Amino acid sequence: GEDVEQSLFLSVREGDSSVINCTYTDSSSTYLYWYKQEPGAGLQLLTYIFSNMDMKQDQRLTVLLNKKDKHLSLRIADTQTGDSAIYFCAETPGTYKYIFGTGTRLKVLA
């Protein structure tokens, strides 16, 4: 089936690191993505990782990919209140569509 799984909620204190996890389904996905959605807004591309990579770092964001377990994670260092949002991972089976996860709501406590 096409069920990309994420935990629903994550709460962290400001300044701590956040780790958002995702389990995807299609091992043929060439790219895997992380998007952020703030209330009432569309989706903002945060970062992506190519399937032949294990890790990608982009400023405060670190993406880890475990292809064997089909596990993707997003680490946000020094989490700020502005990081509070819903985070979606997405896989790309085939060549034209994304399959999004259920989304993880991150709440950052001051």
Partner 1 sequence: DAGVTQSPTHLIKTRGQHVTLRCSPISGHKSVSWYQQVLGQGPQFIFQYYEKEERGRGNFPDRFSARQFPNYSSELNVNALLLGDSALYLCASSLAGFNYGYTFGSGTRLTVV
Query: Does 61 contact partner 1 by CB under 8 A?
Result: no
* Choices 13-21, 44-52, 59-67, 69-77; region in contact with partner 1 by CB under 8 A: 44-52
CB of 4 to partner 1, least distance (A): 7
Encoded tokens for 54: 């294990």
Question: Given candidates 79, 92, 106, 108, which one binds partner 1 under the rule CB under 8 A?
Answer: 92
Decide the pairing of beta strands 9-13 and 104-109.
parallel
Query: Does 23 contact partner 1 by CB under 8 A?
Result: no
Specify the amino acid at residue 44: Q
Q: Which is nearer to partner 1, 12 or 99 (by Cβ)?
A: 99
37 in Cβ contact with 85 (< 8 Å): yes
Label each residue of 13-24 as H, E or C.
ECCCCEEEEEEC
